[in-house]
Amino acid sequence: MIRYVESEWFLQTPQTLKQKRAILKRVLTRAGQKFNISIAEIGFQDKWQRALIGFAVVSESHNQAEKMADNVLVFLDSFPEWERGKTTMESL
């Protein structure tokens, strides 16, 4: 079972793309290591206060994949540098 999540994020603090990338690198690296997932910025690379993040979770059951994806989103929500906007999920 594969669970794919795409979410839009709004960053309050960065004033440049360099600052945005530093925040994203720190957050995405931590999430990838903690949950052993594939995660990346997939959109709004040229916007310094927006990011589109995509990640995939692979699991043996639908429920387990859904639970892990929810845990990743809770972890990402815990960072004060940004807040989540629209989120879409898809199971394959």
Whichever domain contains 25, its CATH number is 3.30.70.1120
Q: Count structural domains, the chain.
A: 1
Question: How far is residue 59's CA from residue 77's CA, in Å, rounded to a whole number?
Answer: 22
In this predicted model, what pLDDT tens digit does every residue of 21-75 receive, in sequence order? 999 999 999 999 999 999 999 999 999 999 999 999 999 999 999 999 999 999 9
Q: In this structure, how many other beta carbons lie within 10 angstroms of the beta carbon of residue 36?
A: 10
**Residue 13 is part of which domain span?**
2-91
Model pTM score: 0.91
